[in-house]
Amino acid sequence: LKEKHKILHQLLQNSTSPVDL
């Protein structure tokens, strides 16, 4: 599941993560 949701996973692990379009 983590593999399929890399950005969500990254957001959960990092305090703030800019997500650029």
Q: How many beta carbons lie within 10 A of that of residue 6, not counting itself?
A: 9
Shortest spacing between CB 4 and other proteins, in angstroms: 7
Whether 19 contacts 11, CB under 8 Å: yes
Residues 1-21 touching other proteins, rule: CB under 8 A, are 1-2, 4-9, 11-12, 15-17, 19, 21
Q: How many beta carbons lie within 10 A of that of residue 9, not counting itself?
A: 13
- Binding residue count for other proteins, defined by CB under 8 A: 15
For residue 9, give both structure tokens.
């996973």
* Residues near other proteins, by CB under 8 A: 1-2, 4-9, 11-12, 15-17, 19, 21
